A = this chain, B = another copy of it.
Amino acid sequence: MSERDARMALCCAVEPGNLELTRLVAQHGAESVIAALQAPDSKSRWSRRARSVDLVAVQRATKVNRLRFVVPGDDDWPDCLGDLAEVEPVQEMGGVPFGLWLKGEPNLATTCASSVAIVGSRAATAYGQSVATDLAAGLGLHRVSTVSGGAYGIDAAAHSGALATDAPTAAVMAGGLDSPYPPGNASLLQRVAGQGLLVSELPPGEHPTRARFLARNRLIAALSPVTVIVEAAWRSGARNTVSWAGALHRVVAAVPGPVHSATSVTPHRLIREAEAVLCTGPDDVLELLAPLGRAPVPRPDQRRRLDELSPDELAVYEALPARGRRDAGEVSLRAGVSLPGCLALLDRLAEQGLVAQVEGGWRLVRAEVGGRS
């Protein structure tokens, strides 16, 4: 059996997120692990399932449903999933998936490289849904993909927002990709597969279970460098995804909402306890995504800084021309400040980055706006 076939067989034989077997595969390779499980004398709890795997049938179902099965090393395989090998287990789950079924054309690795996971409550409010849609759409316009779970509420809103742009969006499912789950999102998931990707570590024919949702959440958190939680009540599956993101040292952001809203309890708690950064929209998330040293231009806070100037500083600042330079003597005249005083004030403004000394005088420094393509 090839390594690829062995991995497919393991996906069929073992529940996702199994710590022991993913570790064994990392150590000994998939072929020897599936062989050991299928050996007649094996007493593993997975052996019965391993021996009954019908690989030909699974391959046929993969083909019939127009799926691809990808494994580590494939062009499509996101290397970031490797972080799952070393992460502290969450609820005794973890591990790199043996393989993934994909539906859709985009390359998964490329899609995830610049992506944000947007997660939240199924029982979202209209507010939360509108924020999730705006967020995904705003990110999509900057060619940042949205990863989510295809569920009702926040997930669906996020995928919809992403679909409104050209960016691919990925829905990571907790069951086989042959049947959409939840059924009510069938047409949405079809559109996701058309423009983006459906992703699952479970073979066609398998249905979601509670444990599979938990295992699926680790993939959502692992695939994106940033996870944003939009709305979630205190007891919510989205908190599990956030736990994974934290364990994986991913950036966690949370969207605030009205303090009376039960679905903002988890975002507020996470922000308050410094487990998440407050996020109000796409710009905040883009800032979190920007690699060090390539951070987007700071927001136009110049007005704020002007508000904090003393009357004399402001007079000197306003005595400089909108364009070009002016010498300190003329600035002092226009500002009604003595020349030594004026020079001291200009120095102070220069320290704050508001003015700059140039040949033959001083000029205003304008806050640069935009600059992100």
Contact = CB atoms under 8 A, between A and B. Distances in A.
Contacts of A274: 274
Interface size class of A (residues with CB under 8 A): 20 to 34
A70 interface: no
Contact of A256 (B127, B256, B304): B256
A82 interface: no
Of the listed residues A130, A280, A303, A309, the one surrounded by the most CB atoms of chain B closer than 10 A to its CB is A280
Interface string A112-153: 000000000000000100110000000000000000000000
Contact of A268 (B234, B258, B272, B278): B278
A280 B307 contact: no
A268 B308 CA distance: 20
Contacts of A243: 308
Contacts of A92: 310
A261 to B, nearest CB: 9
A64 interface: no
A234 B304 CA distance: 8
B303 A235 contact: yes
Copies of this subunit: 2
Contact of A257 (B256, B277, B308): B256
Nearest to A234: B304
Given A235-B303, A308-B91, A258 B258 contact: yes
Interface string A77-109: 000000000000011100000000000000000
B258 A127 contact: yes
Given A256-B257, A278-B272, A91 B127 contact: no
A255 interface: yes
B284 A256 contact: no
Contacts of A264: 256
Given A303-B235, A310-B92, A281 B258 contact: no
A138 B55 CA distance: 64
Interface in A252-304: 255-260, 264, 268, 271-272, 274, 277-281, 284, 303-304
B91 A259 contact: no
A286 to B, nearest CB: 14
A308 B92 CA distance: 9
Contacts of A307: 235
Contacts of A281: 259
Contacts of A284: 272
Contacts of A234: 304
Nearest to A281: B259
B257 A310 contact: no
A310 B284 CA distance: 36
A121 to B, nearest CB: 15
Contacts of A235: 303-304, 307
Interface in A304-333: 304, 307-310
Contact of A310 (B91, B131, B256, B268): B91
26 contacts: A90-B308, A91-B308, A91-B309, A91-B310, A92-B310, A127-B258, A130-B260, A131-B260, A235-B307, A243-B308, A256-B256, A256-B257, A256-B264, A256-B268, A256-B271, A256-B278, A257-B257, A257-B259, A258-B258, A259-B280, A259-B281, A268-B278, A272-B278, A272-B280, A272-B284, A274-B274
3 closest Cβ pairs, A-B complex? A256-B256, A259-B280, A272-B278
